[in-house]
Structure 1
Amino acid sequence: MKTRPSDASVDDFLARVGNERRRRDALAVLALMKRVTGEEPVMWGDSIVGFGSYHYRYASGREGDWPLAGFSPRKRALTVYIMSGFAKHDQLLSRLGKHATGKSCLYINRLEDVDMEVLRELVECSVAEVSARYAVDA
C-alpha cells in the first residue's frame, strides 16, 4: 500500500489548505478526532490526517495498516474516513445533516451543515467497532 504514515507536519499541511473555510473545518475535525481517539495526528501519505492505526487482513490474504480515524480537506469536500463503513449507522446519518457517502468516506461540503455532536458520535462508533474487529496500535 502506498499510503503510509510519515513524519510530515500536520500543522504545515493544514496551513497550506487554500480555502479558508475548508481550513477552519479541518481544524475543527482535527480537534474532534483528537478528543475521540486520544491520539495525536499523523500524516498518512500526502493528504490524509490520521489518528492511531489498525492492522487489517482480508480473507483474500490482502493486509495492511490504516488510520483508526482520519480525514482529508480535499478540494471538493472535507472527507472523513469512517472505517467501520455506514451499514450500522443509518440512524446517525439521518440526523447528521447535509452529507454524501462512499464506501468508508463521509463527504461534507460545509461543516456548518452538519450536527457536530452527531459527527462525534459517528466517529466514536466507528473507532469502537474497528478497535473491536482488528488489532489496534495506539
Structure 2
Amino acid sequence: MYELKTKETDRSVIEFIEQIEQLKKRQDAYQLLDLFTEVTGYEAKMWGPSIIGFGSYHYKYASGHEGDAPLVGFSPRKAKISLYLTTNEEIRERLLKDFGKHTSGKSCVYINKVSDINIDILKEFITETVTLVQKTYPNQ
C-alpha cells in the first residue's frame, strides 16, 4: 500500500527556517510565515521534511486514495520558493495575471523571492485557496 511522504510532523518550523543557508531566502521564509499565519489564522506546522503548512484537511478520491494535507503552505527550496495554492481556473488566472514574477504548476506557484510578487494578491490567493479547499472537503 502506498504511504504518503508528506505528513504533518512535530519538527520545529523555526528550526527548519534557521537552517536555510541563504540569508535572503531565510528572510523571505519568515515573511511568508507571518503572512500565511496572519491570513489563515492557523499555526504553522512542518509537513514532511520541507513544507510549512497551515491548517489541514482530509481528502478521499474516487480511486480510494486518501490522506491529509495542509490547506495552504510554502517551501523555501534551494532553487525557488514553492507556494502551495489552488483555486478554480478562473480565479487562478485572474490572480496570476498581476501576481508578479513567477512560474506555476497545477497547484504550485514558484517564486524567486517575495519582493518579486504582489503581497495583496498573495493574501487573496491564500484566502481563495482556504475557502475552496474547505468547501470541497467539508467537515474539518
User: Percent same amino acid at aligned positions?
Assistant: 45
Give the partner amino acid of 1:51.
F
Q: Return the alpha-carbon distance in structure 1 between the equivalents of residues 18 and 89 of structure 2.
A: 30
Regions of 4+ moved over 4 Å: none
SS state of the match for residue 32, structure 2? helix
For the residues of structure 1 that align with 2:109 and 2:139, how far apart are their CA atoms?
22
Is residue 135 from structure 1 mapped to residue 138 from structure 2 by the alignment? Answer: yes
- CA deviation string 1:4-56 (max 9, x = no partner): 11111000000001111111111111111101111111111110111110011
Q: Residue 110 of structure 1 aligns with which residue?
A: 113
Using the TM superposition, give the Cα deviation of residue 83 of structure 1 relative to its aligned residue in structure 2, in angstroms: 3.5
2:79 corresponding residue in structure 1: 76
Q: Which runs of 5+ in 2 are unaligned?
A: none
Q: Distance in 1 between matches of 2:139 and 2:81?
A: 25
Say if 2:94 is the partner of 1:91: yes
1:41 aligns with 2:44: yes
- Give the letter aligned to residue 32 of structure 1: L
* In structure 1, distance between residues paired with 2:138 and 2:5: 20
1:77-114 Cα deviation digits (max 9, x unpaired)? 11110143655311110010000001111100021111
1:64 is aligned to 67
2-structure distance, mates of 1:100, 1:115: 14
Equivalenced residues, count: 137
Point out where structure 1 has 5 or more consecutive residues left out of the alignment. Answer: none
Match of 2:10 in 1: 7
Q: What SS does the corresponding residue of 2:24 show, helix, strand or coil? A: helix
> What is the RMSD computed on CA atoms of the aligned residues?
1.3
Contact 1:72 1:80 (C-alpha < 8 Å) held by counterparts: yes
Tell me the secondary structure at the aligned position of residue 88 of structure 1: helix
Contact 1:68–1:136 (Cα < 8 Å) also in 2: no
Contact in 1 for aligned 2:86/2:92 (Cα 8 Å):
no
